[in-house]
Amino acid sequence: MKILFIGANGKVARHFADIVQNHPTITEKAMIRNPEQQAFFDERNIETVLLDLSKNSIDDLAAVAKGMDAVIFSAGAGGKGLDKIFTVDLDGAIKSMVATEKAGVKRFVMVSTFRTGREEMDKQNDLRYYTIAKNYADEWLKNRTNLDWTIIHPGILTDVEGSGKITVGMGQDIKEIPRQDVARTIIAVLENNDTIGKEFEVLEGETEIEEAIQSL
């Protein structure tokens, strides 16, 4: 399976690269924005492509998605301002979906925020605009594309070593999840077509990742 990872230099994405560099069936093409990020992927023999979600066109994105079996979207503004939230987390996500369809690729995995919806969007906190952007990107994916989508909603991301065990579902109380286990969850989703058309929260837990994903 050949996948295009959009937002490949993120912390979750780097864990993904570490795992798939020797994976028997998954091959990654890493989409990065800065040439300085390339060395990490070169060391792992992972192909890279330089594109900027906020500047490059849908046609540019479609060209690099052509021939892929799946696209993963895990890009984010990373607290770099309101303009980046809307050009990356919202418009960048939608451009990526449109480009994926234009390239003839069906499978699309979205790494979203933990909770979306009107109640979350109305909260007056520092995450409000980020949540709004993520909410409408998710809704576009579900309701305005014909993609075979899965949406993953991780909890509070940590850098501790993953346990390989998680809890999945919707409406859970938020708690932590190691970034490494989110990366493993993405791989389990790619390997299980029964996750198509599903969205779920993922938190640390007591169930092996593959078993948890099979239960969806």
Q: Residue 192: how many CB atoms within 10 A of its CB?
A: 15
DSSP state letter for 127? T
- Tokens coding 6: 């959009």
Domain that holds residue 129: 2-214
Q: What's the pLDDT score for residue 140? A: 98
The catalytic residue among 108, 130, 149, 200 is 130
Positions of the chain with pLDDT lower than 70, given as ranges? 78-80
Amino acid making up residue 171: G
Each residue's pLDDT tens digit, 46-96: 999 999 999 999 999 999 999 999 999 999 876 567 888 999 999 999 999
CATH number at residue 19: 3.40.50.720
Q: Is 130 a catalytic residue?
A: yes
Domains identified in the chain, total number: 1
The answer, as to whether pTM is greater than 0.75, is: yes
The CA distance from 213 to 185, in Å, is 8
Q: Which residues contact 140 (CB under 8 A, 6 or more apart)?
A: 93, 94, 97
